[in-house]
Structure 1
Amino acid sequence: MVAFVYDGGPVTAAELDAVRLPPGELDAWRMVTVEESRGLLLDPLVDRLAACLDAVAAGARGLELVRGLPV
């Protein structure tokens, strides 16, 4: 399986307020921290999310992960 994660950059409060869900597609959405995501995502996805956020914080422009870990 191949999965890609893209960084869309910072989101303003106005942009968050403008989010509208297509009827029947999703019931809800919310912004969460990595720690909060641990109760919402499978462990491998939490590892991938944490690695991606670490890479963004370090200024990386790209990152390759295998089983959720940088290579």
Structure 2
Amino acid sequence: MPKIGFVFDGGRIAARRLAAIRLDPEEHDAWEVHSLTEWRRAMRPPSYARLRAVEEARGTGPAYLVSGGGAGAPPP
């Protein structure tokens, strides 16, 4: 099934705001905040590569990342 993902930079979030996050259990069961180093250890390389690209784009303004190339899709 094709997927599309969007990432929006919400800036830094204070601990009190993080503590107030409530998830819809029909959609999500957890959320986490980690440094890039910690995420690198926890994620598969393709997923981490996307996260790293997002971090790099934060300093350059809007950016687009095309990755994958699932069944029937042309290579990037």
TM-score by length of 1: 0.67
Question: Which residue is 1:40 aligned to?
Answer: 42
Give aligned pairs, total.
65
- Which of 1 and 2 has greater Rg? 2
**Where is the strand percentage greater, Structure 1 or Structure 2?**
1
RMSD: 2.3
Identity percentage over the alignment? 35
Question: Which residue is 2:66 aligned to?
Answer: 66
Query: Equivalent residue of 1:5, what SS?
Result: coil
Spell out, residue by residue over 1:3-59, the C-alpha distance to the aligned partner (whole angstroms, 9 max, x if none).
222112221111011112334640x33211112112332211211111111221x2x
In structure 1, runs of 5+ residues without a counterpart are none
Residues 54 and 23 of structure 1, relative CA distance in 2, 3 Å threshold = same
